[in-house]
Amino acid sequence: MEKNEWSFKPADLVTIPNLLTYLRFLLVAPFVYFFLNKNYIAAAICIGASGLSDCLDGFFARKLGQVTPLGKILDPIADKVTLVSVAVCMLIYMPSLLPIMLVMIGKEFFMLLGGLILLIMKVTPPPARWYGKVATLIFYISVCVIIFLKAAFNIQNESLIMFTFVVTAAAMVFALVMYAVLIIKQIKADKEK
């Protein structure tokens, strides 16, 4: 594996993919506000737009040749900020989700820790892999379905909510294990140089 040293160029700040990532950060506060004020339609729009921008930033980064070290760091941080915000809102909405939310937040903490270790070693964390993208997609679909059902039909089915978040947590744990293997390989490869 090649050593991918951290580098930064001011032009990286204004690439289309990074602008889409900034949008995800900006959508967190309105999502939380609308969710806590029971404006579930507006909250669903915010989280849906966040999920769409998450899909598009990677697509445009690859398509436009704008994959940057900054984007590789900001994108997963935006994911983590969004997930923690949604987790807090969902816990307020349904406190029985605490164990599942702790698993999901724990996964994000360990991912952040792994990325931090790589940065301390001056190695850019690896880009998102399919298993991380699938876990994130499942997360966004779960949240959108739950909020949409509440907003459109005033349906709050605790079994469905629990099921969707168990599936989400399982996908996230799988992604964590796969990323841990990848990060360990990257650290070993860096030490061998």
Q: Tens-digit pLDDT profile for the chain (193 aa)?
A: 344 555 667 878 889 999 999 999 999 999 999 999 999 999 999 999 999 999 899 889 989 999 888 888 888 889 889 999 999 999 998 898 899 999 989 998 998 888 888 888 887 677 778 898 899 889 889 988 888 888 888 888 889 999 999 999 999 999 999 999 998 888 888 777 7
Position 107 in a domain: yes
CB within 8 Å of 96: residues ≥ 6 apart: 158, 162
Position 2 in a domain: no
CB within 8 Å of 56: residues ≥ 6 apart: 17, 20
Domain, as residue range, for 116: 10-191
Position 4 in a domain: no
Position 3 in a domain: no
What is the structure's pLDDT at 35? 95
Position 83 in a domain: yes
Position 32 in a domain: yes
Position 148 in a domain: yes
CA terminus-to-terminus distance, the chain = 10
Say how many domains are in the chain: 1
Position 1 in a domain: no
What is the structure's pLDDT at 48? 92
What is the structure's pLDDT at 5? 55
Number of neighbours of residue 119 by Cβ within 10 angstroms: 14
Identify the CATH number of the domain in which residue 105 sits. 1.20.120.1760
CB within 8 Å of 62: residues ≥ 6 apart: none
What is the structure's pLDDT at 18? 94
What is the structure's pLDDT at 82? 93
3-state helix, strand, coil in the chain (%, to 5): 80, 0, 15
pTM of the predicted model, to two decimals?
0.81
Nearest to 35 by CA among 74, 82, 75: 82
